């Protein structure tokens, strides 16, 4: 009775729907959708007889392989360590946890260019980490490993912040029950906690991956931008722009947009299936 009344009231009482919805759609179109559509439009006007072979040239395929490979590896490292960090943040109470909590947000808070020059200096031949690692024969700056570290840096907050609230909302009783039945901490985490976190972990993975696929500022300085070796896809777009080849830049951007979207949509679909299954269970 009350519910049906509420529905009638809500449909009638709040006026201004057409104006509010119309303005929202118009602004979103103007600021985001139209510019993106223009990129795709400009790409279609390109001369594909010369552009087609260029898109599958070794330089392009190497850049895309590196972009996707490094992003996937970094996102994977982020969710493995991020899930564990989230568990520490939610389940452990001691002084110093506030510092960990604050540090996790730093990559989101500091500008990417700042992170970029800091990482390049830190892992450079004279940096604290670079000098140590190079003495042990490990080169980070100007290698794919350096790009992976930069992407793991920017993606970490997404992995932690996607998992922590879900973990905090899990009833502690499940873990206590598992413990009282004799499971140790590791088994409790693997068999009781982890399965319930899978959708959240996938969400964090998708966010970290999305960030990594498009990342520019934090990678620019540490990568060295060597074609075929350490050049990522957003840098290819920059190279095209420096030659005033707008259609080529738009074509690469379209390929990057479409490939990122399809990968992220696949993860979203997988996440929905797993969520539906855990709700049914």
Partner 1 sequence: MIVEVSRPATATAGMAPATARTAPANALPALPAFAFVAVLVGLPLATVFYEAFRSGLAAAASVFSEPYAQSAIVLTLEVAATTVTVNTLFGVLAAWTIAKYRFPGKAWLIAAIDLPLTVSPVVAGLAILLTFGPHAPLGAWFIAHGVHVVFAFPGIVLATIFVTFPYVARTYTTYLLEQGRELEEAALSLGASVWQTLRKVTLPSSRWALLTGVLLCNARAMGEFGAVSVVSGRIRGLTDTVPLHVEILYNEDAFVGAFALSAALATLTMAFSALRTVAERRGQSEGAAPKNP
Among positions 128-147, residues that touch partner 1 (CB under 8 A) are 128-129
Among 121, 196, 259, 275, binds partner 1 (CB under 8 A): 121
Binding residues for partner 1 restricted to 193-212, rule: CB under 8 A: 207, 210
Which of 27, 190, 226, 269 is in the footprint of partner 1 by CB under 8 A? 27
User: Among residues 36 and 269, whose Cβ is nearest to partner 1?
Assistant: 36
Distance CA(210)–CA(201), nearest Å, equals: 14
Instruction: Tell which one of 1, 58, 111, 173 touches partner 1 (CB under 8 A).
Output: 111
* Residue 278 found at the interface with partner 1 (CB under 8 A): no
**Site of tokens 């190279």:** 239
Least distance (Å) between residue 110 CB and partner 1: 4
Least distance from partner 1 to the Cβ atom of residue 24, Å: 5
55, 133, 170, 257: residue in contact with partner 1 (rule CB under 8 A): 257
Q: How far is the CB of 13 from partner 1 (least distance, A)?
A: 5
The CA distance from 135 to 143, in Å, is 16
Chain residues 153-192 in contact with partner 1, contact rule CB under 8 A: 153, 156, 161-162, 165, 169, 179-187
In the complex, the smallest distance separating the C-beta of residue 62 from partner 1, rounded to whole angstroms, is: 18
Neighbours of 86 (CB within 10 A): 26
Quote the tokens at residue 271: 């996440």
Nearer to partner 1, 114 or 228 (CB): 114
Full DSSP string of the chain? -HHHHHHHHHHHHS--HHHHHHHHHHHHIIIIIHHHHHHHHHHHTS-HHHHHHHHTSHHHHHHHHHHHHHHHHHHHHHHHHHHHHHHHHHH---TTHHHHHHHHHHHHHS-HHHHHHHHHHHSSTTSHHHHHHHHTT---TTSHHHHHHHHHHHHHHHHHHHHHHHHHHS-HHHHHHHHHTT--HHHHIIIIIHHHHHHHHHHHHHHHHHHHHH--HHHHHHHTT-TTTT--HHHHHHHHHHTT-HHHHHHHHHHHHHHHHHHHHHHHHHHHHHHHHHHH-
Q: How far, in Å, CA of 153 to CA of 159, rounded?
A: 11
Interacting residues with partner 1 between 212 and 251 (CB under 8 A): 213-217, 220-221, 233-234, 237-238, 241, 246, 249-250
**Residues binding partner 1: what is the number (CB under 8 A)?**
96
CB of 85 to partner 1, least distance (A): 5
102 binds partner 1 (CB under 8 A): yes
**Sole binder of partner 1 in the list 63, 115, 159, 197 (CB under 8 A):** 115
276 binds partner 1 (CB under 8 A): no
Give the x/- contact pattern for partner 1 in 46-75, rule: CB under 8 A.
------------------------------
Q: Compute the least distance from the CB of residue 146 to partner 1, in Å.
A: 12
Q: In whole angstroms, how large is the CA radius of gyration of the chain?
A: 23
Instruction: Choose the stretch contacting partner 1; rule: CB under 8 A; options: 49-57, 58-66, 80-88, 272-280.
Output: 80-88
């Amino acid at each position: 009775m009350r519910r049906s009344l509420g529905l009638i009231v809500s449909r009638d009482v709040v006026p201004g729907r057409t104006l509010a919805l119309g303005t929202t759609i118009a602004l979103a179109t103007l600021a985001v959708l139209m510019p993106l559509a223009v990129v795709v439009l400009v790409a279609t006007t390109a001369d594909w007889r010369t552009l087609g072979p260029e898109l599958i040239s070794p330089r392009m395929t190497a850049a895309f392989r590196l972009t996707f490979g490094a992003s996937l590896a970094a996102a994977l490292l982020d969710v493995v360590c991020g899930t564990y960090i989230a568990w520490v943040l939610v389940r452990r109470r001691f002084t110093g946890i506030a510092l960990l909590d604050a540090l996790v947000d730093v990559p989101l808070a500091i500008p990417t260019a700042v992170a970029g020059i800091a990482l390049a200096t830190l892992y450079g031949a004279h940096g604290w980490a670079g000098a140590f690692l190079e003495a042990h024969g490990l080169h980070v700056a100007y290698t794919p490993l350096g790009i992976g570290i930069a992407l793991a840096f920017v993606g970490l907050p997404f992995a932690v912040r996607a998992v922590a609230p879900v973990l905090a909302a899990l009833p502690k009783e499940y873990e206590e029950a598992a413990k009282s039945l004799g499971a140790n901490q590791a088994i409790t985490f693997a068999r009781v906690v982890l399965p319930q976190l899978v959708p959240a972990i996938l969400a964090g993975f998708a966010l970290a991956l999305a960030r990594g696929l498009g990342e520019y500022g934090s990678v620019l300085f540490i990568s060295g931008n060597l074609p075929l070796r350490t050049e990522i896809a957003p840098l290819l777009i920059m190279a095209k722009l420096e030659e005033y080849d707008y259609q080529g830049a738009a074509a690469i951007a379209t390929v990057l947009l479409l490939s990122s979207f399809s990968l992220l949509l696949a993860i979203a679909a997988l996440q929905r299936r797993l969520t539906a299954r855990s709700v049914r269970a």
